[in-house]
Amino acid sequence: MITRRGFLSNASMAMGATLLSGQQGLLKNLFPFAHDMHVLRNNVGIYLDRGGSIGWMIEKDGIVVIDTQFPEQAANFIGLMKEKEDRKVDILFNTHHHGDHSSGNIAFKGLADKLVAHANSRANQERTAAERNALDSQWLPDTVFEESWSQKVGSETVTARYFGPGHTNGDSVIHFENANIAHTGDLMFNRRFPYIDKSSGASIENWISVLQQIRNTYDSDTLFIFGHGKVNELSTGSKEDLQAFENYLEQLLNYVKKGMAEGKTADELAAVAFIPNAPEWTGDGIRRSIDAAMIELQGN
């Protein structure tokens, strides 16, 4: 499991690092797992580049990939994957439709046997691609499910579950059952202000329930891959991290509801470094949480 120990002192430097060639050595030191096929358990691991975390299982009898980032990053991942096993991808999953998790699908077209996602995720992906006139450059999921979907691949059984609207109305959790590793996609922003996509059916109130369901579904030994962490070493974690994010969302609704009752504007509510009683969530992006909460509380 990737730990936080010994990392937070470098966080401020890490946030300013870029991908310019002259800084690759610095990036490697500050983000030790960036651009690596980092094994977590068994043959299951994580890949971090630009975009949401990619989960993977690679063995001689099967390959599973979860999320694809962007086309360039997907191509980088495929190159590293082929160094391990030069074979087809049995299943490619999208945890949800956002471009930093699904734009790289096109790089897997012809390489992956099937692309699996929740039905709402596929609909959202098709809608947003059409709005950008980009359907020709997007590979849409060809296999969809409503509640759960499972298949055995090599030594693993991989199960996708839908717990209801949260970050969007189509987020799923993908579980490698033998390794006991679950990819939450953007249902988890670990110590980083979340994007709450109200245009795609997001619900903060139900998101809280979704996190509770996830904690009740998986056991204390489950290792979670998160869609985003404030720094790379926060891209994996435990049920305690889910509970902490659940608290953040609860405190967000409480704070905004109280502020609206007092007549405060969004600007006034956002003039804080963190949501009261949830101080671990800091950095850029608090305004997007405030705006989404106001929309939800206004019933829009």
pLDDT (0 to 100) of residue 96: 98
- Listed by start position, the domains of the chain span 8-253
**Which stretches of 1-70 are DSSP H helices?**
11-15, 24-30
pLDDT at 188 over 80: yes
pLDDT classification of 34: cutoffs 50, 70, 90: low
Give the global pTM: 0.88
In this prediction, residue 281 carries a pLDDT of 96
Transcribe 252-281 into DSSP letters: HHHHHHHHHHTT--HHHHT-SSSBTTBTT-
11 compared with 82, residue with greater pLDDT: 82
Evaluate whether 192 touches 229 at the Cβ level (below 8 Å).
yes
CATH 3.60.15.10 at 8-253, yes or no: yes
**What pLDDT shows up at residue 33?**
54
